[in-house]
Structure 1
């Protein structure tokens, strides 16, 4: 279908609406292409040539080591858990998932729809830590739920299941590996659910080519229609070449240039410094429970910088890229973060502080191979009054006893993420007082 013409005076505003709304669809497609396995656990490839875009969906893939600087598939990655992920496609029927008894260990199998809404999850907080069997099905499926299974209706056919398993150090890895291996995905008849699927992209593609962007999001819209209450909003985008029935290949030079400019403007906007809305330089960029609703710009921001984020009741992600005086954090200076004895993070699972390079949102190599500190860090030293002082910067502390409290930074701008897993009420209702990051040397 050719995109109908729209007056130039309206095109810029409509294009902005279109790219803001569909940007998360592109990022989900890009992440699926980058992380969906090309090869099954038995060694079978989904396609017969290296340049094909076939991948295995409904196939579990596990991380076996805690993420570090060498892992670059996901921005702002955590360094606390192992992952058990799967890209699900429910267009041909439900997928059944079985989980083991974790003996009280924290875990979550978070479920994101194609628009990045964290609509549900299986795990410690929601379903407990015992064995369980669940049937995940698409929005239009109707059928009988097998005995002993709990049904999970999914808003779209494309689902990203992002699993996290708490790990207490290297010695704990074999135990977590066994738990990962005990998870299974099957069809209703009990056969393995994995099948080949064309993801339509190659790893590494970015939203810079307007024709590719339009082609990817148009397909995503076809495969994963928006919620009924948003359909009228989305239908307007056909006037600028974005829609389930639109053909990106028919865009002319003027339309391509306009879309390219809209994408560049959005990317610059989403890369801007984060305003502090919690005081002390802290912000809460991901503030939702199970859906963004009509907060499309916030949804695009999270898709660019924090894709894979869960709902706040499961995990909160506090970000600081400036100190308490509003100056950008830079590893060439030294900083401290002091939690008073009665002001430590309040969580029912765990908390951690992780440091990232600002330029690419990635972990940074350092001599200690230390990327996060938190309530499970064995070398942390608390003050006599029970307070906790953490040190940030590229220079090691002068005091040897504070080495365990040092989170190394690169000699360039950085930011930190304070993760709160299963946060308590003080965090959820935003009455918790977050201490500022203070600059202590130039």
Structure 2
């Protein structure tokens, strides 16, 4: 046994996994979402199974995600993504963003512990052209005069998740593609900021990790990303304690009840602004099931896994969600309701290729009194209904995404209507 290994009780081992799991899952996402190839400098490594990737470089999705996309759990179907992982160990990175017109967009910055500590975008810095300097701990260099804002990161690794609203898969998607191409990343001297890093893990493997892989990945991440706020870790663990704790914790995080009950079957899994504080269990649960979630000032995610009677939502049944007249979601940007299969937290293919429905959905039908009813079911309810297809014969859940939620939501005063079985 190595001298740095702690002998701990099983419950303490599980606590250590709960604390460090966000760090591991972030490194897994780094491996899954960074590019193998640089546009000018080529592959980070020639071998196809290599774990070397490029960081400090944007990658983009130019279409909304669908059922064929399995890298990110509970993905949204409203925006395209502009993704980047920053490695600040060799100095700051300068991010250039174009004029976004009046479009919703945000660049959310998460530290390696999943704290959403900063934003650039419509809500916080506006839609004008911007130059954002992001630096790591201890940097004290000169800020160039053209920089519009400076962001100090708490560690060397930062996940930057850009979301840009897209209205369709045609002309608007092409316009958004041009905006994405104008997002650039460089060093202060104007050189390309891109770096090669060994991610050390297969990001496509979403199974419970083995103890050796988990230990190696967490140790490497801790070197550049100390625990937030002086958080004390009982780490590292004895191999046998870690091996026993990992499957227990991962199973618990998937089945644990939702926090922040709103009534009527609704709950909010994410109630964070910029930092999780000492709520390590929720932090771990979000990292496993909802990683990359924004802070609540930017977006809120009320989620329903059960109907008005507390029964699990199931695609073998038919349901309706009805917003009374004048009682729809209150947002500064837009809202959507998204459908997921419960078993893997992903979209399910359906006949009309619809995975979300919301205030921007073409052809949305309101009742004569102004109410809005949405049918949640596997079979087509026919004309005249707002239909969000459910997976046939499988449990599902829905997420009500609220972009720039207003005070009634932020203060938990909004009355969320229950999902009623028909």
Q: TM-score range by the shorter chain?
A: over 0.9
> After superposition, where does 1:337-348 map in structure 2 within 5 Å?
337-348=321-332
1:43–1:406: structure 2 CA closer, same or farther, 3 Å change rule?
farther
1:156 is aligned to 155
Change (3 A) 1:5 1:367: closer
Mapped contact 2:333–2:403 kept (Cα < 8 A): yes
Paired residues of 2:97 and 2:182 also in contact (CA < 8 A): yes
SS in 2 for 1:290: coil
Superposed CA deviations along residues 336-360 of structure 1, whole A, max 9, x for unmatched, are 0000112100000000000000000
Structure 2 equivalent of residue 67 of structure 1: 65
SS in 1 for 2:250: helix
1:202 aligns with 2:186: no
What are the Cα deviations for residues 303-353 of structure 1, in whole angstroms up to 9, with x where unaligned? Answer: 001000000000001111110111000001000000011210000000000
Q: Deviations over 1:140-176 (max 9, x none)?
A: 2111111021211011110000000011112310110
Confirm or deny: 8 A CA contact 1:208 1:260 kept in the other structure: no
SS at match of 2:384: helix
Cα distance in 1 between the residues matched to 2:418 and 2:339: 15
Corresponding position: 1:301 with 2:303? no
Rounded to whole Å, the distance in 2 between the matches of 1:282 and 1:320 is 5
Cα deviation per residue 1:397-433 (whole Å; 9 max; x = unaligned)? 1x4211xx10001120000000000000000000000
| Structure 1: unaligned runs, 5 residues or longer | 241-254
SS in 1 for 2:9: helix
1:237 Cα deviation after fit: 2.2
Displacement of 1:49 after TM fit? 1.5
How far apart are residue 228 of structure 1 and its match?
Answer: 4.6
Deviation at 1:256, TM superposition (A): 3.0
Tell me how many residue pairs correspond in the alignment. 417
1:265 to 233, 237, 248: 248
Question: What is the SS of the residue equivalent to 2:162?
Answer: strand
Correspondence for 1:243: none
Pairwise CA RMSD of aligned residues? 1.4
Q: In the TM superposition, what whole-angstrom CA distance separates every residue of 1:15-51 from its partner, at most 9, and x where no partner exists? A: 1221011000110011111111001123710112122
SS in 2 for 1:400: coil
2:193 matches 1:193: yes
- Structure 2 contact 97–184 (Cα < 8 Å) conserved: yes
TM-score by length of 2: 0.96
Structure 1 moving runs of 4+ over 6 Å: none
8 Å CA contact 2:33–2:83 kept in 1: the answer is: no
Could you tell me which residue of structure 1 aligns to residue 405 of structure 2?
423
Which runs of structure 2 are paired with 1:6-155 in the superposition (5 Å)?
A: 10-42=8-40, 44-149=42-147, 150-155=149-154
Corresponding residue to 1:284 among 268, 287, 299: 268
Decide whether the 8 Å contact of 1:333 with 1:439 is kept in 2: yes
Q: Distance in 2 between matches of 1:188 and 1:42?
A: 20
Tell me the distance in 2 between the aligned counterparts of 1:229 and 1:65. Answer: 41
The secondary structure found in structure 2 opposite 1:382 is coil
Name the structure 1 match of 2:388: 407
TM-score by length of 1: 0.92
Matches of 2:107 and 2:399, distance apart in 1: 21
Q: Which residue of 1 aligns with 2:302?
A: 318
